[in-house]
Amino acid sequence: MKRIWSLFSQWVTVLLAIWFVVATLQPEWLRGTQASLTGMTLLQAPPAPNGTRPVGSLSAPAQKASPAVVSINTSKGKNNNPHGQDPWFRFFYGEPDEQNPAGLGSGVIVSPEGHILTNNHVIEDADDIEVVLSDGRKAMAKVIGTDPDTDLALLQIPLTNLPVIVLGQTQDMQVGDVVLAIGNPFGVGQTVTSGIVSALGRSQLGINTFENFIQTDAAINPGNSGGALVDVNGHLMGINTAIYSRSGGSMGIGFAIPISTAKQVMQDLLKNGKVIRGWIGVEPQDLSPELAESFKLPLVGQNALKSGVVISGVLQNGPAAKAGIRPGDVIIRVGTQPVKNVSDLLNQVANLTPGVPAELLIWRQQAQLSLRLTPAERPAPKRQAR
């Protein structure tokens, strides 16, 4: 009996040693046995060939555009009180607040010289602006110029070998196109979200003075401001700017400034340090049945006004007043461009060159009248709380 038990224990020891060697050196030999013992058949996908991605993957545009999207950290200098070190001052007024207000945002590198497009509200009132690249490099940025009317700002950093994004063509964009939003939401780090173009030419939202937004359902959250909206080719189509939200987070309605607008603003800031726009000094209102009745304007019949903007107020000694425009006039056309609403009038007047006369077609007393007007430069906007 002892001999049988000794042989059994020896065989068990040998089998365990063999199992240990196989499990260590060739574990795949045991997978089929383990699966059969558990009663399951496991199927494992083969590794994908090098360079291929699953159908529908957006990794290519994300990898192309992401290196050019930066994080922006802003801070304000300490407001040092001269009595802050006085013990009696501290006894009566408490310890001074040593914290610096800070902000987070995003930006996009648009030139090898280190120019970065972002939102004006991201860097407004900041004393220090730190830019963090996706490769970990950091640099302090200087402000080339800002344009509060479109909420855009242009920065520059003193670094070389920078990743630069390719600017897209917004005229080729259509509703339903797939887009990616890239930025640094809530300071968690660079994040890519996807969606589609929900609408084009959104205006009269009360966000900026001049509005022509791309609307998208790609998730945009606080911290994404100034980041990139790119197409499936990784080309920059817009600068993410605002969201509609009741909770503070994304609800599927985000807005981006088209790159066509951002490019024009950037060129003006590089050339002049500011954006120069035309201004005529009027208070316009959209043509409505109530206003038409108030100013006795025809909305029906042969001479009915199909479109235009009612002038409800004229600034004294302004360009419009000097040209003879009166309250109650309806501006129908600026130059050769018809005026459909207040947004149209603002954009068309802004495109006029200050000091260069322009023709305006108006409606007054049941007849059309052409006036020659010399626009002035648009005054700097007053600061508004966001």
- State the catalytic residues: 121, 151, 225
Query: In this structure, which amino acid lies at residue 267?
Result: Q
Alpha carbons 138 and 225: distance in angstroms, whole number? 19
Helix (H, G, I), strand (E, B) or coil at 258: strand
* CA-closest candidate to residue 236, choices 259, 207, 213, 263: 259
Count of beta carbons in the 10 Å neighbourhood of residue 138: 13
* CA-closest candidate to residue 213, choices 225, 204, 221: 204
Helix (H, G, I), strand (E, B) or coil at 241: strand
Q: Provide CB contacts within 8 A for 197, sequence distance 6+.
A: 173, 174, 175, 176, 177, 179, 214, 215, 216
Q: Provide CB contacts within 8 A for 263, sequence distance 6+.
A: 167
Whether 202 contacts 210, CB under 8 Å: no
Whether 179 contacts 229, CB under 8 Å: yes
Whether 360 contacts 323, CB under 8 Å: yes
Whether 347 contacts 334, CB under 8 Å: no
The two structure tokens encoding residue 87: 């013990």
Count of beta carbons in the 10 Å neighbourhood of residue 126: 20
Angle subtended at Cα 329 by Cα 323 and Cα 332, rounded to the nearest 5 degrees: 90
Q: How many residues does the chain have?
A: 386
